[in-house]
Amino acid sequence: MSLLDPLFRYAALDKLFSDEARIQGMLDFEAALARAEATSGIVPQSQAQIIAGKCRAENFDLSAIAKDAAFAGNLAIPLVKKLTELVAHGDKDAARFVHWGATSQDAIDTGCILQVRGACDLIDQDLARLSGTLVTLAEKHRATLVVARTWMQQALPTTFGFIVAGWLDAVSRHRKRLAEIKPRVLALQFGGAVGTLAALGGRGPEVAKALADELRLSLPSIPWHTHRDRIAEIATTLGLLTGTLGKIARDISLHAQTEIAELAEPIFEGRGGSSSMPQKRNPVTCAVVLAAATRIPGLVNTLLSAMPQEEQRGLGGWHAEWETLPDIVRLFGGALHHLAEMLPGLEVDTQRMRHNLELTNGLIFAEAVTMALGDRMGKMPAQLLVEAACKKAREQNRHLKEILREESRLRGHLTPADLESLFDARNYLGSTDEFIRRVVAEAREFPAMR
């Protein structure tokens, strides 16, 4: 099914996980193996070149390989058989060295890692773009007043720049995580039948080093056939990142509700409409991101569940990874790309934000009054006095400031000028500006850390 791909996925990243790309990843392993063994003197250079020359996906009938894989148990077995036949047509001696010393899992796992590496490049680009947009929004709106909400209820004043800085801070942590795990997870898989490289005698480590260099992958200390933490770490890292994208999308969609209307996704012809309601302006990107955030945790769980694999080759657990990891990367990549595309056009209604600050008749300033009053009469008496004033304000549908002006127990503690100051949202923003400055500065330093 591909009808929904433009909605949920990103075409450039999707291409990296096409059927052709999967086969090409395994063939890239086979070509590099022949070259590495030629470098080590095991395979004649001329024959390695012949093998590498046949390692192009267009030389293979993918439907035939798929059909044969249903009986063989994996794609590498029929692929290597067909590659050997192709090489033999030109040089029977060269055909002897196809897949020399390797096993199916070496080709499949390394091919997958090569696909993931390509995806990481695109993910890095979109994360950098997302981060840059969030930096711009945080700085532009560092003083834009908005209501902070807890338990879905109005709580205290904050700034929209502070909210965006929270998103940005999480994205920066994930960028660091991705940069940190790459040398560990983008690693060669090459161990032969049971991980010992016995077929290469004592030259296994030498060939593995040459192969890792050919493919520009990290060389692990030992083959990792049934130690699947690398695969699981890729999945869990993207799972964490998807959760943050979902947090951003959830916040935006809540702020975009008709009754709140503080934010809105950009609108143009054909975007966000309804088949029956002409007035609708649906947050399409938020829906896509939240769908990914709903689906990916279950897929991550599949890979975590697949980790305890049997002995030196997994039965079923390894097989469960083959579709699951690409699904995670593709769903995440689509959500990230769509969010990075949408956010530069995010509409911020600062007047509506200011309007919503006044909806509670000053109740969101109750903590500010309590803290100021607590300095003078003690925290608990102040808490009880302001609670009673809040109750009265609700019952009489009056502004809290008016109620407090009439409160005789405030006299001698808070002046009318004090009250005016306490009900100015700009005076109860705490350290928002400093927090925004720190987060933005750290985000801007990221390229230097790579």
pLDDT in tens, 128-182: 999 999 999 999 999 999 999 999 999 999 999 999 999 999 999 999 999 999 9
The pLDDT score that the predictor gives to residue 449 is 43
More confident residue, 197 or 278: 197
User: Within 13 A of 407's CA, how many CA atoms are on the CB side?
Assistant: 25
CATH 3.30.300.30 at 118-187+229-353+431-450, yes or no: no
Angle, CA 232 vertex, CA 231 and CA 238 arms, to 5°: 100
- pLDDT-based confidence at 280, cuts 50/70/90? low
CA 163 to chain centre: 19
Domain with CATH 1.20.200.10 in the chain: 118-187+229-353+431-450
The pLDDT score that the predictor gives to residue 313 is 94
CA-to-CA distance for 403 and 49, rounded, in angstroms?
88
Q: Nearest-CA neighbor of 104 among 176, 180, 33, 183?
A: 33
- The pLDDT > 90 percentage for the chain reads 89
CA-to-CA distance for 414 and 369, rounded, in angstroms?
9
DSSP 20-86: HHHHHHHHHHHHHHHHHHHHTTSS-HHHHHHHHHT--GGGS-HHHHHHHHHHHSSSHHHHHHHHHHH
Domain with CATH 1.10.40.30 in the chain: 363-422
pTM of structure:
0.92
375-401 confidence digits (pLDDT tens): 888 989 999 999 999 999 999 999 999
Residue 277 has pLDDT above 60, yes or no: no
71-117 confidence digits (pLDDT tens): 999 999 999 999 999 999 989 999 999 999 999 999 999 999 999 99
The pLDDT score that the predictor gives to residue 269 is 67
Residues marked active site are found at: 274, 313
Domain with CATH 1.10.275.10 in the chain: 10-102+188-223
The pLDDT score that the predictor gives to residue 9 is 85
Q: Which residues does 388 contact at the CB level (< 8 Å), separation at least 6? A: none
Instruction: Give the mean pLDDT of 341-358.
Output: 96
Q: Which residues does 113 contact at the CB level (< 8 Å), separation at least 6? A: 185, 186, 187, 188, 189, 217
Give the DSSP H or E segment for 348: strand 347-348
- pLDDT-based confidence at 210, cuts 50/70/90? very high
Q: Could you give the dihedral angle defined by the CA atoms of residues 320, 321, 324 and 328, in that order, rounded to the nearest 10 degrees? A: 160
Residue range 363-422 forms a domain whose CATH class is: mainly alpha
**What architecture (CATH level 2) is domain 10-102+188-223?**
Orthogonal Bundle (1.10)
CB-CB neighbours of 274 under 10 Å:
10
